[in-house]
Structure 1
């Protein structure tokens, strides 16, 4: 079984610096209205970014294997928080945006589906506590 370990160190006020197994560092902070300096990502926003990054890595790798080229690709993730504490994302919408003039929609849809249904572990974790909705958008250059 594989393990990941991160070390998170309190820096000052409400800010923390955390690493990842690859050795990169990220600042975690909260908004000014919650006592922070807004100097980094909030923990919940980082979760949405992790979801987008995990699926994005899958999609890019799969499209490369399929020899599919796109001019631009972005993922927008929106999370709806519960009203009561502890607040968590009860639903999440993941919008995949692909830009190009000759997009191969069938292969793009296959790559997204494989990420969503098979490869993205963060997506699977989100499904344990949230309704996850997926949508694909195509844009001409």
Structure 2
């Protein structure tokens, strides 16, 4: 995997990343750090990427198990260290999985497999943060 990041000087502290797959991602800093609040902060994109990584796993595991999953929302909350480096110290992943007749055991297993084995992003962040999970199942 690779990525090229370019600073956009005219914007203050905004950066545009071009991913190895050819997609663009814009990030910006807070006004107090010279940014203009035009895009998500880099640490927000890190958290969003980790959330998408684990949600992807959960949906894929449920689909492969032939479960009728039709929705997956992930609410991520976090805390960061007070001093530099301000690493994540706590991350909570709350899954809201919807579908028809989704077995509790299947949802729990999908979340556990992602958390313990498949999601490289949350497993990596788990080296500095206490990563916890929770879930709700919505019957459709």
What is the TM-score when the length of structure 2 is the normalising length? Answer: 0.90
- Per the alignment, residue 103 of structure 2 pairs with 104
In 1: Cα distance, 2:60 partner to 2:139 partner: 22
* Residue 34 of structure 1: how far off its partner (Å): 3.0
Matched, 1:6 2:8: no
In 2: Cα distance, 1:126 partner to 1:101 partner: 32
Correspondence 1:21-40 to 2 at 5 A: 21-40=20-39
Contact 2:59–2:69 at 8 Å: present in 1 too? no
- Per the alignment, residue 135 of structure 1 pairs with 134
In 2: Cα distance, 1:72 partner to 1:33 partner: 38
In 2: Cα distance, 1:139 partner to 1:20 partner: 35
Give the secondary structure class of the aligned counterpart of 1:30. coil
Give the secondary structure class of the aligned counterpart of 1:7. strand
Runs ≥4 residues deviating over 6 A: none
Give the secondary structure class of the aligned counterpart of 2:3. coil
In 2: Cα distance, 1:109 partner to 1:39 partner: 38
Q: Can you list the C-alpha shifts for 1:28-80, whole angstroms capped at 9, x where unaligned? A: 10223432122212111111111111111111111111011223211111110
* Residue 101 of structure 1: how far off its partner (Å): 5.0
Give unmatched runs, 5+ long, in structure 2. Answer: none
- Per the alignment, residue 88 of structure 1 pairs with 87
- Per the alignment, residue 52 of structure 2 pairs with 53
More strand by proportion, 1 or 2? 2
Give unmatched runs, 5+ long, in structure 1. Answer: none
In 2: Cα distance, 1:22 partner to 1:60 partner: 22
In 1: Cα distance, 2:92 partner to 2:77 partner: 5
